[in-house]
Amino acid sequence: MPKLHADATLVPSTQRIELFSDGVFAILLTLLIIEIDVPFLADESFPTVIDGLLRTLPHLLSFAFSFFTLAVFWVNHHHFFSVLGRTDWVLLWHNMHLLFWLALVPFTTAFLGEHPDVSLVAAIYAFNMTMAAAAFTLMTRHALFHGCFTTTEILEKERRALVRKSQAGMGLYALAAILAFGSPWVTWAMILGIPTYFVVPRLLKR
């Protein structure tokens, strides 16, 4: 008779984990905006409104950058799970680990929007992304090297390339965190540049 808790066995479908993760991604993308307060306006003259918007600008920029970064994570998550035919308990927890760091993004984004020019705050934002990329790397490595989760055979060369790409993202974000102590604007440039680097060349290739 079957064991009720499928600890040691592979769960044969990835559907519920994908839908659950999609829910988390969808909420994170939309929650980012409610951290941004409408600017307070002392009066309703044109210069005051412009001034209010300029004060909100760092928040809108950190919103846009985080939206873009989370979108890249979602697309990669989507592609990664589309080649998996199975999950196991460990993969479930690797995914939870990833979602944990992503769930912190609205907080670190709001903090960066509030203090765009503070090195430590920029470093914390980049550290958050570093940990998310690390969680993604660990999940990828587990699925591609410690079991047969993929629906089709994938060449070891390709599997290595995939994990390496994830590690590269992790390394770049770690660098962005360190360079923040030189200048936070370097970090701002990198948190826009890293997801751009992962997306734009492929879009242009087409």
CB of 197 to its own copies, least distance (A): 15
Task: Evaluate whether 133 touches 110 at the Cβ level (below 8 Å).
Answer: no
The least distance separating its own copies from the CB of residue 187, rounded to whole angstroms, comes to 15
Residue 18 lies near its own copies (rule: CB under 8 A): yes
- CA atoms of 104 and 125, how far apart (whole Å): 9
CA distance 103 to 25: 9
Pick between residue 181 and residue 189 the one whose CB is nearest to its own copies: 181
Could you tell me the smallest distance in angstroms from the CB atom of residue 4 to its own copies? 5
- 108-127 binders of its own copies (CB under 8 A): 110-111, 114-115, 117-118, 120-121, 124
| Site for its own copies, residues 151 to 190, rule: CB under 8 A | 152-155, 158-159, 162
27 binding its own copies? (CB under 8 A)? yes
Q: Which of 10, 51, 61, 75 binds its own copies (CB under 8 A)?
A: 75
C-alpha pair distances (Å), 45 with each of 32, 39, 40, 42, 48 = 28, 14, 13, 9, 5
In terms of Cα–Cα distance, which of 1, 13, 125 is closest to 69?
A: 125
